[in-house]
Amino acid sequence: MSSNDKKANNLSYVGQRILRKDGPEKVTGRAKYTGDIHLPGMLVGRILRSPHPHARILNIDTSRAAQLNGVKAVITSQDTAGIKHGFVETPRYPPDQYPLATDRVRFVGEEVAAVAATDPYIAEEALGLIQVEYEPLPAVFDPETAMQPGASEIHATHPKVKEPFVNIAGKTETGWGDIESAFAQADYVREDRFESHLRTHGYLEPQVTVASYEPAGKLNVWTSSMGPFLKRAKLARTL
């Protein structure tokens, strides 16, 4: 055994088998996820989403939904501060989405209005009472077609993009060394194109958020996320 191995054996954590603190709760099913939280007097939220890939919002009438017994609130973009957010918010990728759609919807499922009610059945019924008048606009469904000049502009193009493209959210260029020199010295050069399907995480819980205001005005939020501090910052900014 080397001296390094002996030192590792004398350490409490380095080189030792450490059990996850949340391991036993998860494997036994005792772990509490966001969907397991039930607060006194808790309301249920539901979101009305766009059926169109691209359309102008002409009018939203929430009056019938607001009058439904059990509905406590109905909101649209007019009830928000109009501050944009994004999954990644950097100078390279600035925020580009409103909490609720304002003048247009840009994809099927975009959030248009939201309801809070005393139970999920009333909330779902209220969604059906919201009347939204749309003017469908041309849409594009292929990424390369959407980039071409003359394509319907659904999203504003990033200012760093100088080529005559449209609908470009960001631009990144990376290179190392003298590529052309390396190609010239290579015995074989192969160029290919690879495409992959969309991939995402395998969640252990449904996407759920629970929020509660304390009497003093503090907002407590439980949400299914691996980035609590990012979520806190986004909420602070958009609210």
Q: State the pLDDT confidence band at 225, using cuts at 50, 70 and 90.
A: confident
pLDDT at 1: 57
Structural contact between residues 72 and 63, judged by C-beta atoms closer than 8 angstroms: no
- State the chain's mean pLDDT as an integer: 91
- Residue 97's DSSP bridge partners are 85
Q: How many CB atoms lie within 10 A of CB 197?
A: 4
Positive or negative CA dihedral for 30, 34, 40, 43? Answer: negative
Structural contact between residues 171 and 94, judged by C-beta atoms closer than 8 angstroms: no
pLDDT at 211: 95
pTM: 0.80
Computed on alpha carbons and rounded to an integer, the radius of gyration of the chain in Å comes to 25
Look at 48-52, 53-57, 136-140, 228-232 and tell me which has the smallest mean pLDDT: 228-232
How far is it, in rounded angstroms, from Cα 123 to Cα 127?
6
pLDDT at 124: 98
Instruction: From 139, 5, 109, select the one nearest 47 (Cα to Cα).
Output: 109
The residue with tokens 């749309």 is 134
And the tokens for 101?
Answer: 């759609």
And the tokens for 238?
Answer: 């958009």
How far is it, in rounded angstroms, from Cα 90 to Cα 102?
23
How far from 12 is each of 4, 8, 217, CA to CA, in Å?
14, 8, 43
